[in-house]
Amino acid sequence: MRDRFKSALESSLSLKTCHYGDLDPFPTDEELISNIVPAIFIQPQRVPSDFATLNQRYRHTYFYRVILVDRLPEGITQEHVRRKIELVADVVVEDISLNAATSPNYGSPAKAQTVWSIVRSLDYRPPEDSFLVSVNAMLFASAFDWEVKLLMFK
């Protein structure tokens, strides 16, 4: 998924980094920050799963937090921030819906079918924004919570 984000958003957002993991450790040196933003961070949250049924089917629900970090140019408006994170959310939903008929490969012998992919909530001023204030690099963060439900079978 990280590679799909990068290829789909590289030109429209001038994306430099797409990282699977947390914001920490985020660089505090201005020159290093310039080399990585705009950036997307995909944080896995949790993966609850059901027990297998008699027909060997069970469900996995993947929860992710997707964070967009970008420069905060002078005069930026909330509308500008909203358009960027909504563009990222559109790519997530569009990509999964186009590929829902295919069986994702998660490196296990089980097969999977995508049941749904939902952007649960958009945060225009997420808690991660407070973390970026401490960096003193004129950055902003926007985020959304993403849920993917898979039906797994052997």
Single-letter code of the amino acid located at 19: H
98, two tokens: 């186009």
Residue ranges per domain, the chain?
2-153
Give dist(CA 17, CA 28) in Å, integer: 16
pLDDT tens string 48-80: 766 666 667 777 788 999 999 888 777 777 677
Say what the pLDDT of residue 101 is.
47
Say what the pLDDT of residue 55 is.
67
pTM for this model (two decimals) = 0.78
Is pLDDT above 70 for 108? Answer: no
Say what the pLDDT of residue 118 is.
86
Strand 139-153 to 111-123 pairing = antiparallel
Nearest to 140 by CA among 152, 127, 154, 153: 127
The CATH code for residues 2-153 is 3.30.2000.30
Tell me what percent of the residues of the chain surpass a pLDDT of 90.
4
Give dist(CA 47, CA 147) in Å, integer: 10
Alpha helix (H) residue ranges in 26-127: 30-36, 78-98
Say what the pLDDT of residue 100 is.
46
Q: How many CA atoms lie less than 13 Å away from 122 in the CB half-sphere?
A: 12
Q: What is the largest CA-CA distance in the chain?
A: 60
Instruction: Name the residue with higher pLDDT: 144 or 14.
Output: 144
Is pLDDT above 80 for 44? Answer: yes
Q: How many CA atoms lie less than 13 Å away from 148 in the CB half-sphere?
A: 22
Distance of CA 116 to the CA centre of its chain: 16
Nearest to 68 by CA among 35, 105, 106, 42: 42
Is pLDDT above 70 for 130? Answer: yes
115: phi then psi, degrees, rounded to nearest 5: -85, -50
Say what the pLDDT of residue 145 is.
93
